[in-house]
Amino acid sequence: MTRTREWLYAWLLLLPAAALLALFTHYPAAANLWHSFYSTPKGARPARFIGLENYRALADDPIFWQALGNNLWYALGTIPLSIALALLMAIWVNERLPGRGFLRLAYFTPTVLPMIAVANIWLFFYTPQYGLLEQLTGALGFGSHNWLGSKSTALPALMAVTIWKEAGFFMIFYLAALQSMSPHLAEAAAIEGASRGYFFRRVTFPLLMPTTLFVLVNAVINAFRLVDHIVVMTRGGPDNATSLLLYYIFEIGFRFWDSAYAAALTMVLLTLLGAVAIFQFMFLERRTHYQ
C-alpha cells in the first residue's frame, strides 16, 4: 500500500468512532462552554448573550457552594476508606483463609448490582421506626434517629452506601496486582527474616503504588459522576445537605429547566475532571509498570 492510501485507510477505520466521539463528547463539552455565556430561552424569548452573568449567579448561589462542599466531603469521606478496605479485602482474598470463595463473592457482589437497586435496599435499611438499622440500635437501647432525614447524618449515611458499593470493585484491581507479583519476592524476604508487616510496608505496598493511583483516579471520577443513589434516597435533601454537584446540575437542568445555568455548573464539573486528568497525566502515566 502506498503511504497516502494507508493514511486514508486508517482514517476510514477511525471515522465511525471519531464521528460519534466528536458528536457526543467533544462537541457537547465545547457547546457547553458556549451556552454558559447565554441566557436560557424562555417561551418566545430566545437565548441572548449575557457574558459571565451565569458565572456571577453561580458565585452568589449558596446551594452551588454547598453542593460543591458536599461533593468534596463526600469524596474525602469515601475515597480513602474504600481504597483501604479494598486493599484489605484483596489481601484477605489472596490468602488461603477458610471460606475464600464466599468472601470474594460477598465483597464483589455489590459491584455487580445497579446503584439504583442498591439504593432501594439501603433506603429500607435506614428507614425510621422499622428499618433494620433502627431495629438494631433499638435493641441496643439507643434512641430512634432519622438517618436520612437529619442534616448531620444524611451525607455520611450515603457515604456508607458508596463505600459498600465501591470497595469490592477496587479490590479486583488490587487482587490482579497481587496475583501478578512474583512469589520469589516473598520467599526471599522470608529467608532474610523480614516480618510480614515489614514486607508489606517495604515491598508489597510500594509495588502496588501504580494500582493505588489508578484506583484513586477512578474513585475521584466516580465521586463526581455517580449520583443515582441520591435520586432514590434523599433527592439532595434534607435542605440540600446531600446535594452533590452532578445532582444539582440534574436538578437545575431537568427540574427547573434552566439549561444555561446548568451549563455554567457543568463547566465547574468539567474543570474538576480536567484537573484529575492533568494529575493522572503527570503522575499515573509515567509511573505505571504495565505500560
Partner 1 sequence: MTTATGVHAPPGVARLLETLGAWVLGVLWIMPLMYAFWSAFHPAAFSTNFSLAAPLTLENFVKAWHAAPFARYFLNTVILVTMVLAAQLVLVTLAAYAFARFSFPGRDIAFALVLVQLMIMPDVLIVENYRTMTALGIKDTILSIGLPYMASAFGIFLLRQTFKTVPRELDEAARIEGCSPLQTLWRVYVPLARPTYIAYALVSVSYHWNNFLWPLIITNSVESRPVTVGLQVFSATDQGIDWSIISAATLLTTGPLLLAFLLFQRQFVQSFMRAGIR
Site for partner 1 in 21-80 (CB under 8 A): 21, 23-29, 31-32, 35
Residue 35 or 78 having the CB closest to partner 1: 35
What dihedral angle (degrees, nearest 10) is formed by the CA atoms of 63, 164, 223, 153? Answer: 20
Q: Contact with partner 1 (CB under 8 A): which of 7, 65, 142, 205?
A: 7
Window 79 to 118, contacts with partner 1 (CB under 8 A): 85, 88-89, 91-92, 94-99, 102-118
Position 158 contacts partner 1 (CB under 8 A): no
DSSP 8-class letter at 42: B
Letters for 221-240 (x = contact with partner 1 by CB under 8 A, - = none) are x--xxxxx--xx--------
Residue 154 or 167 having the CB closest to partner 1: 167
Gyration radius of the chain over CA positions: 24
- Tell me the backbone φ, ψ of residue 124, rounded to 5 degrees: -70, -40
Position 193 contacts partner 1 (CB under 8 A): no
Q: Tell me the helix, strand and coil percentages in the chain, rounded to 5.
A: 75, 0, 25
Position 255 contacts partner 1 (CB under 8 A): no
**Residue 163: C-alpha distances to residues 79, 111, 205 (Å):** 8, 11, 21
Q: Contact with partner 1 (CB under 8 A): which of 55, 73, 214, 283?
A: 214
Of the listed pieces 61-69, 76-84, 147-155, 263-271, which binds partner 1 according to CB under 8 A?
Answer: 263-271
Least distance (Å) between residue 69 CB and partner 1: 19
As a whole number of angstroms, the distance between CA 133 and CA 146 comes to 10
- Tell me the backbone φ, ψ of residue 38, rounded to 5 degrees: -115, 165
Window 122 to 141, contacts with partner 1 (CB under 8 A): 122, 124-125, 127, 130-132, 135
Q: How far apart are the first and last CA of the chain?
A: 30
As a whole number of angstroms, the distance between CA 233 and CA 229 comes to 6
Q: Contact with partner 1 (CB under 8 A): which of 37, 55, 73, 199?
A: 199
